[in-house]
Amino acid sequence: MSWKNLLKWGFFAALLLLGARYLWVHSEDFSKMVEIRPVFLPFLLLTPVFFIGLLGILNKTLVEAFGVRLTFLEWFGLQCITNFGNYLLPLRGGAGTRAAYLKMKHNFPISSFLSTMGATYLINTFLAGAIASACIVRIGDRVEHWGVTLALLLGASIGLLLLMIFPFPFRFPDRGFFQKANLV
């Protein structure tokens, strides 16, 4: 058996042992799962798969803009590995795994990867802000002063995000303070 196979099986065994330890330590949490009504189980099981699929399609689309075509197994599997790595490794280590795979398999430059990662964060932030704004407006019917305040704050943050995405042309005046401060 080669070192590569030995390393693979050792890593797999370590993951199995860690999973078994987690089940042993948190067994009381799993006893509460019996209380979940079976009607909700498909929804609870398919929701994470749906979001992994959406993020995978987003990453596939962003990478295709740079000329790299990913198969279904690549974009879906890569997103699964990225999510798994983000749970296990510090500092969003799953993204590093995705970068390494794209670099080795498709010779994808790290600068282009960082561009796709930045675009992903902007899109996620915008969508989360829009969903949160809708929720706050809905909650605002029940709690008057907090709903309006939070809606204004989220509206301002979404406005700033839109300014980052779609900047308007701005030019400093050619004279006065801006010229003295070398801002022109």
The structural domain count of the chain equals: 2
Q: Is residue 20 part of a domain?
A: no
Q: How many residues does the chain have?
A: 184
Domain boundary among 108, 130, 156: 108
DSSP string, 109-172: -HHHHHHHHHHHHHHHHHHHHHHHHHHHHHHTTTSHHHHHHHHHHHHHHHHHHHHHHSPPP---
Q: Are residues 94 and 147 in the same domain?
A: no
Q: At CA 55, angle to CA 134 and CA 29, rounded to 5? A: 80
Confidence (pLDDT) at 74: 93
Distance CA 19, CA 12 (A): 11
Confidence (pLDDT) at 104: 93
Q: Are residues 54 and 76 in the same domain?
A: yes
Q: Are residues 151 and 130 in the same domain?
A: yes
Predicted structure pTM score? 0.62
- Full domain range(s) for residue 134: 110-167
Q: Is residue 183 part of a domain?
A: no
Q: Are residues 77 and 115 in the same domain?
A: no
Q: Are residues 55 and 104 in the same domain?
A: yes
Q: Is residue 28 part of a domain?
A: no
Radius of gyration of the CA atoms of the chain, in A? 23
pLDDT in tens, the chain (184 residues): 788 888 888 888 988 898 899 888 888 887 777 788 888 888 888 999 999 999 999 999 999 999 999 999 999 999 999 998 888 888 878 898 999 999 999 999 999 999 999 888 888 887 887 787 777 777 766 666 666 677 777 777 777 777 767 766 666 556 666 555 554 4
Q: Are residues 65 and 90 in the same domain?
A: yes
Distance CA 63, CA 26 (A): 39
Confidence (pLDDT) at 112: 92
Confidence (pLDDT) at 76: 94
Q: Are residues 120 and 66 in the same domain?
A: no
Q: Is residue 127 part of a domain?
A: yes
Confidence (pLDDT) at 133: 74
